[in-house]
């Protein structure tokens, strides 16, 4: 047993000596690390910047500013690596998503719970990535959704007016350019139907049936004290086309109106790209063609819905 102990001591001494001889070269090399599942040995692919919080989608995360230091925003590149949105530098301090610190910096774990089996992870050296992204900060996010709610308007036909109230429902599709600080700018086109019509005189029915808004948006995503899920808040404005109808017992005719719209919205991001949405919109439309002279409509709508971001 003594000989084995001596042999072990000699081996440890040789390892230390070799490490001391190699340390200048190691100091000059860039060593990257990979996380593996300690039970299976499989690499962990879903890694995120340490101490970061979810952002507007799975490809954006952030560390809020606090009394302990400035915050940071991160973007995941197509190859799976993370970069600092402000500087474009690669993020090296990555950890398995949703994991907790372990006994040291090289060990982390996800505890078992009623939602699933836990896991233990260990950090080991891995080969450097083949490519390093140095491009910064922006990416494009697409959004599609449906909405429904209520609307009210005041419509004018020549010298007469009506004030109908009705339902409103529709859908939209847009694109957003994600900027540093979890801000974004974007554009969106939508279409909604409504029944904002009423008899302006006995047997003569007028009102708005369809709206097509073109929205320019600006907004941001943040984690609020009221929810652990990130919330996207934005404002929008742009042109809008509307189609009205006049109808009698014998015939009906459609007219096009044109004007502007402005409003604000919010999205509660649930994860995996899904969000619960809400928005309010004001619109003011006037004649859009010669035969619609004398017609105008202004109103509002408030809707809720669901959207997917990808």
pLDDT of residue 261: 97
Residue-averaged pLDDT of the chain: 83
Q: Give whole-number Cα distances, 179 to 53, 69, 141, 219, 220, in Å.
A: 17, 21, 11, 10, 9
Kindly state the tokens that stand for 13: 């001494």
pLDDT of residue 137: 52
Q: What's the pLDDT band for 293 if we cut at 50, 70, 90?
A: confident
pLDDT of residue 205: 75
Q: What's the pLDDT band for 6 if we cut at 50, 70, 90?
A: low
Q: Rounded distance, CA 224 to CA 247, Å?
A: 49
Residue 175 has pLDDT above 80, yes or no: yes
Comma-separated ranges of CATH 2.40.160.20 domains in the chain:
139-309
Residue 115 has pLDDT above 90, yes or no: no
**Poorest-confidence range of 23-27, 104-108, 276-280?**
23-27
Residue 283 has pLDDT above 80, yes or no: yes
pLDDT of residue 80: 83
Residue 247 has pLDDT above 80, yes or no: no
Q: Which CATH class is domain 139-309?
A: mainly beta
Residue 12 has pLDDT above 50, yes or no: no
Q: Give whole-number Cα distances, 178 to 52, 186, 200, 222, 268, in Å.
A: 18, 9, 47, 13, 17
pLDDT of residue 183: 92
Q: What's the pLDDT band for 30 if we cut at 50, 70, 90?
A: very low
DSSP code of 177? E
């Amino acid at each position: 047993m003594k000989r084995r102990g001596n042999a072990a001591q000699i081996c440890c001494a040789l390892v230390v000596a070799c490490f001391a001889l190699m340390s200048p070269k190691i100091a000059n090399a860039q060593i990257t690390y990979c996380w593996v599942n300690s039970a299976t040995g499989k690499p962990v692919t879903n890694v995120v910047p340490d101490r970061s919080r979810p952002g507007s989608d799975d490809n954006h995360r952030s560390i809020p500013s606090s009394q302990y230091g400035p915050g940071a925003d991160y973007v995941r590149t197509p190859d799976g690596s993370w970069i600092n949105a402000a500087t474009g530098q690669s993020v090296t301090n990555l950890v398995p998503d949703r994991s907790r610190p372990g006994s040291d910096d090289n060990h982390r774990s996800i505890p078992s719970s009623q939602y699933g089996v836990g896991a233990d992870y260990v950090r080991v050296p891995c080969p450097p990535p083949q490519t390093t992204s140095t491009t910064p900060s922006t990416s494009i996010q697409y959004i599609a959704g449906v909405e429904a709610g209520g609307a009210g308007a005041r419509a004018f036909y020549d010298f007469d007016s009506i004030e109908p109230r009705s339902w409103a429902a529709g859908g939209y599709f847009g694109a957003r350019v994600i900027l540093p600080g979890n801000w974004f700018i974007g554009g969106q086109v939508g279409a909604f139907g409504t029944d904002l019509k009423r008899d302006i005189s006995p047997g003569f029915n007028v009102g708005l049936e369809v709206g097509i808004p073109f929205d320019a948006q600006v907004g941001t995503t943040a984690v609020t004290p009221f929810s652990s899920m990130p919330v996207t808040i934005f404002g929008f404005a742009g042109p809008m086309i509307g189609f009205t109808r006049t109808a009698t017992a014998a015939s009906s005719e459609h007219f096009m109106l044109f004007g502007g719209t402005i409003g604000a919205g919010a999205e509660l991001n649930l994860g995996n790209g899904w969000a619960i949405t809400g928005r309010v919109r004001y619109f003011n439309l006037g004649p859009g063609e010669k035969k619609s002279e004398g017609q105008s409509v202004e109103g509002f709508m408030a809707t809720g819905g669901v959207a997917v971001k990808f």
